[in-house]
Structure 1
């Protein structure tokens, strides 16, 4: 009788309005995140903080996601789709309002954490809902559509924020986001439906504590390395404690009859390979998205609005390619997309490692655009292929784990890229006679950014090796 009622309920689910609601909310969240990257240079000057400190506006956001997202698989099984959607919108709206009014760096950082709570609830809920309401043979196309809308946000984010910074102020990034969040909330009130199965599994407090310490410790350790150095007691302790906590968390999950995150998902090979692919790709995306705006404005002395326009074609191409790669995935599977995607990324990252202040703007646009095409060929296809291999009851666990490692990888990628850049800058300046000479400062930044892009190139090669083992997990 219960099964029959569930089936009847599924028959009346309005998939398109639900999809549109999630896409609106996801678009705004990503817009405010990437738009702020273009303001980092100005915020360093306005708040009188170092580049290592300013990166916490990104890594603090990702740290919160890394702590919260693992719990999301549990929350999805405890609360209805509507309740979680409204909770995520509440935190997003409050965080955005506080950020818009922020008078100091510390207040802005707190606001980013509140925003991240909203995003941490939204991302796993969105992916889990999509898996529930759409059949396997349509998921590539739907994920491609999600990629189109979601990647359009980071495409126009830097451009709009550059315009706002030039003629108004960075606060307006958040005022615009706030208005759009309210529209998404109103849309959700009308159209969001409950689609997930509420099973209310037992809450294991120890698992939550170990997960928080584990993922939080690793993200904090990597994020602190830029300020304190890799050999500092704080960094080493945070990484060590995080790894031990994660090991204990994993052992506990395998022994529990109803784990917080069912790690049996790692027994599905295509899911595990998809997880690795997303981990590597997201490190490349976030490290590149923080390096290029900083270098365009500081190293090449380009205005914020112009820098945003330079990055716009790549973001637009990424968005346009997403539904195309989604349809290719539905028809042919992931192999013909992921492998050449990593080849494109590797070549472009190697070319970006030769960037200088004399590099032409056209060349930067071409390199960034082809890099983003490579990203569109790997990210969604690998993620969809991995999740497709899981049975329905493991969807919440799979989406929670994939989204968690995605945010952790973003924090690690950002922290390592900034650290490499800072260390290379310092090493360069130590070797010159006049470190305060503006030409030497630009040259040191160039050396730092080049070394950071070599790190990205190494990541792309690792992704290329992983892609050799990926095959289709489509249900015939």
Structure 2
């Protein structure tokens, strides 16, 4: 039985694109939930394992670093094994790591499982965009991308609120089983709806380049974490920094000399790609940095519960979705540069406002500045 896209479209009829879009949204929402909901559980994890912030931040940053590395694996795995095998392998490993997180006995075990989850998220999420562009090639792609983006945006909007409530009532382990129903649904539905057309002649993965990249990313994170606790001239700090520089330099050297590089560095010769990369870096720092810092500040400094911290971010997430929708409408009338600059300035204003209010600010004032920042990010992300 053929399982390529034309065969699946013929088998399931004219509604196949809509069913596939729903499946891709569910899978992506599960990955986004896993990446953002952990932040409201960090104080509880820190108390349970008696660890400090420099070690606890690995639960968030380790996930994101592994997801970054996983993004480079996604295209290769999709080409060699097909979308179905790639997605199901990632989902199965994600489910297994979530279940193992429920029985860990040490902080390093939990961090290791979060890194595995991040790798799975990096492999699974890019498949959605590839398949949307392929299945909606004859029309409706813009609407499909809009619906997909709206669905995925609901995850970081609702995740902290739901996760905070679950942490208050069931403990920090709840954030690990929260995405499991969606993962199981995506796993089962993918057996029928995902195409499974791989090409075994695809060149083997450049494992050396991938290893150098992973080593460089995690050494850099280790350097930043240790620099918070110890002086920069201590070997445990500058040694990690030196290792990060050497590993990343080796990755660049390997990529420049490979016939099939893991990451084509020639892309950065294009001014448009360089500009987009810097904007994406800025937006990523703003979105994930604030998603990490705000719940941590609310619980450790202001004394809020996990549920209260999540509820403060709920209206901010809703406004981010509305701002993204309005920015999409404005993008047909205004330049993308104007929208990006305006959004980043609004987010900067929010960061300054949160720094200005200080300890003891009211719930409403903190919520206001968080909402301002999410509006700025929503305007910036859409162009």
Q: Given the two structures, how large is their TM-score scaled by the length of structure 2?
A: 0.87
- Contact 2:220–2:241 (CA<8 Å) still a contact in 1? yes
C-alpha deviation, 1:328, in angstroms: 4.1
Q: Which digits, 9 at most, give the CA deviation of each residue in 1:270-304, with x for residues without a partner? A: 22211111111111122212221122122222222
**Residues of 2 paired with 1:350 and 1:137: CA distance?**
43
Aligned: 1:72 with 2:74: yes
Deviations 1:242-297 (A, max 9, x none): 22332332233233332222222223322221111111111112221222112212
Give the corresponding residue for 1:26: 28
The question of 1:111 aligning with 2:113 is answered yes
The residue correspondences of 1:59-458 to structure 2 (distance < 5 A) are: 59-134=61-136, 141-194=143-196, 200-329=202-331, 334-381=336-383
Q: CA RMSD in A?
A: 2.9
Q: For the residues of structure 2 that align with 1:265 and 1:66, how far apart are their CA atoms?
A: 17
**Unpaired runs of at least 5, structure 1:** 1-5, 382-476
> Greater relative contact order: 1 or 2 (C-alpha under 8 angstroms, separation 6 or more)?
1
Give the Å deviation of 1:330. 6.0
Contact 2:350 2:370 in 1 (8 A): yes
Give the aligned length: 376
8 Å Cα contact 2:5-2:135 kept in structure 1:
no
5+ residue gaps, structure 2, are none
Confirm or deny: 8 A CA contact 1:143 1:326 kept in the other structure.
no
The residue number in structure 2 matching 1:55 is: 57
Contact 1:221 1:239 in 2 (8 A): yes
CA 1:79–1:178: 2 relative to 1, 3 Å: same
User: What corresponds to 1:417 in structure 2?
Assistant: none
Is residue 10–residue 195 contact of structure 1 (8 Å, CA) maintained in 2?
A: no
- The answer to which of 363-372 and 16-25 deviates more is 16-25
Match for residue 43 of structure 1? 45
**Offset, 1:367:** 1.0
Q: Distance in 1 between matches of 2:99 and 2:123?
A: 18
- In structure 2, the CA distance between the partners of 1:29 and 1:180, relative to structure 1 (3 Å rule), is same
Q: Is the 8 A contact 2:8 2:195 kept in 1?
A: no
Higher mean C-alpha deviation, range 343-352 or range 263-272: 263-272
Query: In 2, distance between residues paired with 1:136 and 1:373?
Result: 33
Structure 2 vs 1, CA of residues 8 and 113 (structure 1 numbering), >3 Å: closer, same or farther? closer
Q: Given that residues 213 and 247 in structure 2 are in contact (C-alpha distance below 8 angstroms), is that contact kept between their aligned partners in structure 1?
A: yes
Q: CA deviation at 1:332?
A: 5.5
> Which 10-residue stretch deviates more, 302-311 or 193-202?
193-202
Contact 1:94 1:115 in 2 (8 A): no
Provide the rounded CA distance (Å) in 1 between the counterparts of 2:82 and 2:350: 44
What is the Cα deviation at residue 27 of structure 1? 1.0
Question: Equivalents in 2 of 1:79, 1:354: separation in Å?
Answer: 52
| Distance 1:162-1:255 versus aligned 2 partners, 3 A rule | closer
Summarize the Cα distance change of 1:183–1:10 in structure 2 as closer, same or farther, 3 Å threshold.
closer
With the length of structure 1 as denominator, give the TM-score of the two structures.
0.71
1:143 Cα deviation (Å)?
4.2
Secondary structure of the equivalent of 2:359?
Answer: coil
Contact 2:55/2:225, CA 8 A, preserved across alignment: no
Distance 1:326 1:139 in 2: 15
Contact 1:74 1:261 in 2 (8 A): no
Q: Which moved more, 1:113-122 or 1:127-136?
A: 127-136
Distance 1:305 1:11 in 2: 44
- Contact kept, 8 Å, 1:47 with 1:104, in 2: the verdict is yes
User: Could you give the per-residue CA deviations for residues 49-70 of structure 1, whole angstroms, max 9, x where no partner exists?
Assistant: 1111211211222232244333
Q: 1:87 to 1:237 in 2, by over 3 A?
A: same
